[in-house]
Amino acid sequence: MTLGEIIKQYRTTHSMSMDAFSEKSGISKAYISLLEKNKHPKTGKPIAPSIQSIKQAAEGMGMDFNYLFGLLDGNVDISEAQKKKHRRKGVIINVLGRVAAGVPIEMIEDIVDTEEITEEMARTGEFFALQIHGDSMEPKISEGDVVIVRKQDDAESDNIVIATVNGTDATCKRLKKYAGGIALISNNPAYEPMYFSNEEIVEKPVRILGKVVELRAKFD
């Protein structure tokens, strides 16, 4: 069975709405819907839930994690190291598939997964995660990788940031500051740096949404 099938069966048996299960498990309603449909809206491929999502679902259904894991397709087992890792307390944040310009982070519904950050990190600010699209930040950051981002409207020179330019979706770039403006620079030399004067920063506008603080690389 898929995780979505198990969740839907549980909700049906307990006459529970997605909203109610979301509140009980900590999994967003949007991601519960994705799990139950078991189809990624962009790729059309089946959803591959993270172990953290499985853990949250188990807690929401009052089910032992290993028992739930054993019900999933393939009857996969996990190592003791992984079990210990996921017993640690943490804070769950949403992984966004895209960030639309001008839309508050908390209002974005394009949620593709969840990630866990430590309580220590969570105490240092407000965080979200973003799935990377494109190859402009290769080789360090690749298509499908997830970056953990602390929300802030400014950053230091050489920080990697998430920014919007001229009303477009958010982009991941390295920030360079100059007396007369800034540059947003790709790691991939195939892409030219984007330079903006102080006047252009205001007029376009160019806005920093947050600083990338961690990379969660994905492997095939």
Q: Which residues are catalytic?
A: 136, 173
**What are the CB-based long-range contacts (under 8 Å, 24+) for 133-137?**
133/98, 135/188, 136/171, 136/172, 136/173, 136/186, 136/187, 136/188, 136/191, 137/172, 137/173, 137/186, 137/187, 137/188
Rounded to an integer, what distance in angstroms lies between the CA atom of residue 77 and that of residue 25? 22
DSSP 168: P
Neighbours of 63 (CB within 10 A): 15
Residue pair 190/172 in contact (Cβ under 8 Å)? The answer is: no
Nearest Cα to Cα of residue 129 among 90, 101, 162, 174:
162
Question: Among positive and negative, which fits the CA dihedral 49, 90, 12, 19?
Answer: negative
Residue pair 163/206 in contact (Cβ under 8 Å)? The answer is: yes
Residue pair 157/140 in contact (Cβ under 8 Å)? The answer is: no
